[in-house]
Amino acid sequence: MRYKRYVKNIEAYQGLHPETQALLIRRLFDDYDCDYIVLDRGGNGISVYGYLCRKLFDNERKIEYIPFYTMNELDELKLSAYHTEDEYEQKIYTISASEEFNHDIALDLKDKIVNKRIELLISKEDIREFYNQEAWFNKLSQEEKMDFIMPYMQTNLLENEMVLLERIEHPKYIKLKEQSGKRKDRYISLAYGNYYISLLEKELSKKVKDNSIDINKLFLFKQPNIRKY
């Protein structure tokens, strides 16, 4: 009744146009055969959502992507303004963060890390050592090599982000803040994804509970005939 979390890839960008971000999200969605997108609709996220709600044509791959709408806030006025397509799929879990929500996801992520229910990629040093032993890898260009190494570098940056987060005193909630000049985007992405998986776990647990059957009722035992000699 539990899911294991595997972080297979991390990509981080800054300063990209919302349409470009939406296109990159759709590529990753297909490349990794994803089921859902977890998206913060606050700030620039609402613009990214707006482009995900449109038909997007990928000139590089020659593919047109069907619009994706929210799964959980379809009637939310701020989002429904973007719902203009007749054909769409509900694949996005939209998040509107609050102090309470940030408190909950911080505790949930800590619980999953402590209990080893999240598996991250290995260090960039270890993977580089592994790849350097492979003949095919050494034949690649430096740019191609970096494509293989980058997710592991991003994982190290994620770990550093989480280690450097500072807790701000608050009478009710846990509040985490990045240090001056640092970021916490990777941490937020991981925490959001982990939160949605936890929601799916609760649904799974409820289904199992609702459909539970007393195992003793599955079998009817008939007393065997016993003959005495």
Q: Is 152 exposed, middle or buried (0-12, 13-18, 19+ CB in 10 A)?
A: buried
Tell me what the pLDDT averaged over the chain comes to: 90
**Positions of the chain with pLDDT under 50:** 213, 215-229
Burial class (CB in 10 A: 0-12, 13-18, 19+), 52: buried
Identity of residue 103: H
Q: Which residue type is seen at 220?
A: L
Mode of pairing for the β-strands spanning 166-168 and 175-177: antiparallel
Q: Who contacts 89 (Cβ-Cβ below 8 Å, separation ≥6)?
A: 66, 67, 68, 69
Sheet holding 68-70, edge to edge: 37-40, 89-95, 68-70
pLDDT of residue 212: 59
- Bridge partners of 167, per DSSP, are 176
The pLDDT tens digits of the residues spanning 14-27 come to: 899 999 999 999 99
Neighbouring-strand partners of residue 94: 39
Which pLDDT score is estimated for 170?
87
What is the structure's pLDDT at 23?
97
Question: What is d(CA 221, CA 177) in angstroms, rounded to the nearest whole number?
Answer: 62
Which tens digit of pLDDT belongs to each residue from 92-143? 999 999 999 999 999 999 999 999 999 999 999 999 999 999 999 999 999 9
Task: List the one residue out of 189, 222, 213 whose CA is nearest residue 109.
Answer: 189
